[in-house]
């Protein structure tokens, strides 16, 4: 994709992916889910996960799988509010961009 993906968009996408799993999900699966829409590496996403955890949008817990601990991420109530704000802003943004790219009237 030729368009850059900024930090806010990555945050929104990660929150959306994590929100789809009620019990939470782990880093590798988050990476695989995000890669369905964006070409990103694990090394890009782990700092996003840490940032979202630090700001209270995600919480973590460990679960033992096959004798090893796996870190799971779960969206918090604060994260749900943030995700809704991102979704609202995304709708406004894409409406404006689509209008411009399709040559419509953008005097809203």
Q: Which pLDDT belongs to residue 41? A: 87
Q: Residue 72 in contact with residue 24, Cβ under 8 Å? A: yes
Using 50 as the pLDDT threshold, list the residues of the chain that sit under it: none
Q: Indicate whether this model's pTM tops 0.75.
A: yes
Q: Which pLDDT belongs to residue 2? A: 72
């Amino acid at each position: 994709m030729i368009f850059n993906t900024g930090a806010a968009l990555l945050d929104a996408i990660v929150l959306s992916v994590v929100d789809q799993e009620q019990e939470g999900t782990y880093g590798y699966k988050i990476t695989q889910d995000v890669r369905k829409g964006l070409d990103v590496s694990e090394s890009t996403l782990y700092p996003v996960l840490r940032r979202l955890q630090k700001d209270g949008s995600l919480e973590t817990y460990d679960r033992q799988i096959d004798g090893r601990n796996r870190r799971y991420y779960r969206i918090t109530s604060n994260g749900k509010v943030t995700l809704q704000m991102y979704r609202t802003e995304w709708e406004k943004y894409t409406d404006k961009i689509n209008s411009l790219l399709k040559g419509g009237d953008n005097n809203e």
